[in-house]
Each structure stands twice: as C-alpha cells, then as structure tokens.
Amino acid sequence: MFYRTPLGWLQLRHRPMRLVVAICGVMFANLLMFMQFGFLGSLIQTTVQLQSHLIGDIVISSTSGRQLQGIGTVPRRRLLQSLAVPGVRDMTEVYSGLIDWINPTTGKTANLTVIGIDPEVPVFLDPDIDAQRFKLRTLGSALMDRRARGDWSAVIRSVEAGGVLTTEISGRQARVEGLFSMGATFGADGTLIVSRETFLSFTGARSAGAVSFGLVRLAPGVDPGATVEALRTVLAYEDTKVETMAEFLASHKRFLAQDSPVSFVFRTGAFIGLLVGAAIVYQILYADVNEHMSEYAMLKSLGYSHGYLLGVVCEQAAILAVLGYLPSLAAAAAVYAVVAKATALPLVLTFDRAANVFALTCLMCAVSGALATRRLRAADPADIF
C-alpha cells in the first residue's frame, strides 16, 4: 500500500456514503464488544473486590461456595480444628450475607452485603476499615460503604460531620458510625461491615456455628503450600475446602469468567457483535468488488497478478478496521464513564481490553475481506472485450 497507488483507499473514498455505513457498522460491533467485555470484567472485579481486601494466608470455606453472595457455610468446629495444625498462628471467622436496608433519607430499599467480623482482630487490608473496627464493639454499630449504589449523600454528610446515623435493619436498631470505600457489585448495592454479634442479630435465622469462611494466618517463615496440605489432611471433609488466598481468589474469578451463566451471556453478546460487524464489512467489500469487476479484469489483462488484487481488498479491510476502531474506542470511553456513574460499577477501559477488541476487529475485517475476495476469481480479462 505504501509503495503503490492506494487503490483500496481510493475505491472506498469514491463512495463516501458506503464508507460511512461501513465505518458505522464496525463501530457498532466494536462498541458492543467493548460493553460486553467491560461488564464481564466489572463482574469479575466487583465480585472479588471484598475478598481481595482480606488479611489471611489460607482460606477455609465451603465446597459449595463460588462467590461471596452464595459462598455457603462451613461448621465453626472445622475452623477451630485448624488451630491444632503446626505453623498456624491464628484464625478468625467471617460471616457474610445479604440484607435489605431502607435508606432513611430517600425511603428506597438497598440490598447490601453485610460482613460480620471480630472487631479485635485485623481482617481488612484497607487502613480506613482497620482504623475504625473498634467502633464495632458496640452491638448494632456498623461501617458503611460510601460508594454504595444510590443516593446516600445525606447519610455520608451526616457521618463525615462526626454524627451517628441511627436507622433500623431487620427490625433492630443500627447505627452507622463510620465510612469506608468499596463499591457496588452486580449482586449488591454496597457493603456493610459489622461485628459477629451484630451480624447474627440482623440475620436471626443464622447460627453462630455456620461461618461463611475462615481466615488463617501463618507464623513467620512457614510454607503456605505445606500448611495447606496439612490442613487438607486434618479437614478432610466433603463440606470443607482449604485454599491459599491466591487460590481462593483465582477459583472465584475462574468460575465467574468460565462457568457462570452471566459470563456466557456477555461472551455471547460479544460474539454476536463480531458477527454483525463481519456481515456488514463483507457486504460493503463484496459490493465494491462486484462494482469494479471490469476494472479488476483490466488489471489482470495488464499483467497484475491475482495476489495483487487480493491485496487491494485486504487493504480496504485494514482501512475499515482502523477507521471503525478509533471512533469506537472514544465512544466506549464515554459510555463507560456514563454507565459507571449510573451503576456505581467500576467500568474502566483498560489497555488489555482495548488491545483485545482491536485484535478482534482486525480478525473480523480480515475474514470479511477474505470471503469477499472469492468474487475476484471470476474477474476474466475476456469480459472487457
């Protein structure tokens, strides 16, 4: 293309409206892929964002648990057994569940993930949470997520001003005494952190012996892999799973990315966008090749090879890929910002995602161009005489 007359570009430019339609088709396909991959990435990130803030070397959880909202429970006696394993320094229980909380200022109901912890033990890496955990010693006290979905501005202003917001959860009095930043997820509008006793009072049907998961911390210098194997030997029960923190997070991400129905829906949406874009580009290129069959036949009669003609069509496909991708990248960044503000979900246009969509765009246009070039085989120099 750089050492000859750019026939592909000249032919595309010759029909401006057709070129605009082709670019819009590629843009639509790209934007659809950007949104589907963005929602999938946001699903994975938000579902493990709380777990990634936990302090622990090893996690003991239920074999039925796949994500925080449906993590299941493990008997507390299993966790206490872990303390007898050499190398284990301490263990703390974490309770997790969902509650409905009516916003006292707007009257709207919010679905929050409530986490019950021991206020005397550091559980979160977030220094903002760790510095306020002493406030949870009083029954009914809670720390609230300032980035929860919905209008919580009045609540946040009141607490930031040094006040304590009193409200009611599950028929019991609750006091919001502090704030932290976590963010909404697909399954909950935000997070509420309370003590174990407060958690059990809010979720009356929950037994203290049914723990969501346990965080095990090891003594300095102890090999986590060897300790995990020792714990698996001691806790060899069908309902109990022992993993390092890295394995715990990876298994949750893997389930969301590969096995969950939601991820299948998002991937299917991206694939449909790819098919739609390929069909539009194919129609444009095919129509252009068909319209210029006599010109292609003349080039053949002048001695130009079939490969040269294929290069012209491939040039058109590459131009459409680039011209369609650049505006879709800008549009995706704008849509991400709007959706993130409306849903409180972390939709971020990462370099990896942009590179992946560009690669799929090139593949889409290349396949469409390859299919359109089949028509060139019928370009016969005899047709022009």
Going by pLDDT thresholds of 50, 70 and 90, the confidence category of residue 195 is: very high
Predicted model pTM: 0.79
Residue 365 has pLDDT above 60, yes or no: yes
pLDDT, one tens digit per residue, over 299-313 is: 767 666 666 767 777
pLDDT, one tens digit per residue, over 218-270 is: 999 888 889 999 999 988 888 888 999 988 888 888 877 777 778 888 888 88
Going by pLDDT thresholds of 50, 70 and 90, the confidence category of residue 381 is: low
Q: What percent of the chain has pLDDT over 90?
A: 24
| Spatial contact of 124 and 186, defined as CB atoms under 8 Å apart | no
Instruction: Please tell me whether residue 56 adopts helix, strand or coil conformation.
Output: coil
Residue 3 has pLDDT above 60, yes or no: no
- What ranges in 2-152 are assigned the alpha helix state H? 7-14, 16-47, 76-82, 127-130
Phi/psi at 98 (5° precision): -120, 140
Q: Where are the domains of the chain?
A: 7-46+261-383, 64-237
Going by pLDDT thresholds of 50, 70 and 90, the confidence category of residue 15 is: confident
> How many angstroms separate the CA atoms of 385 and 376, rounded?
18
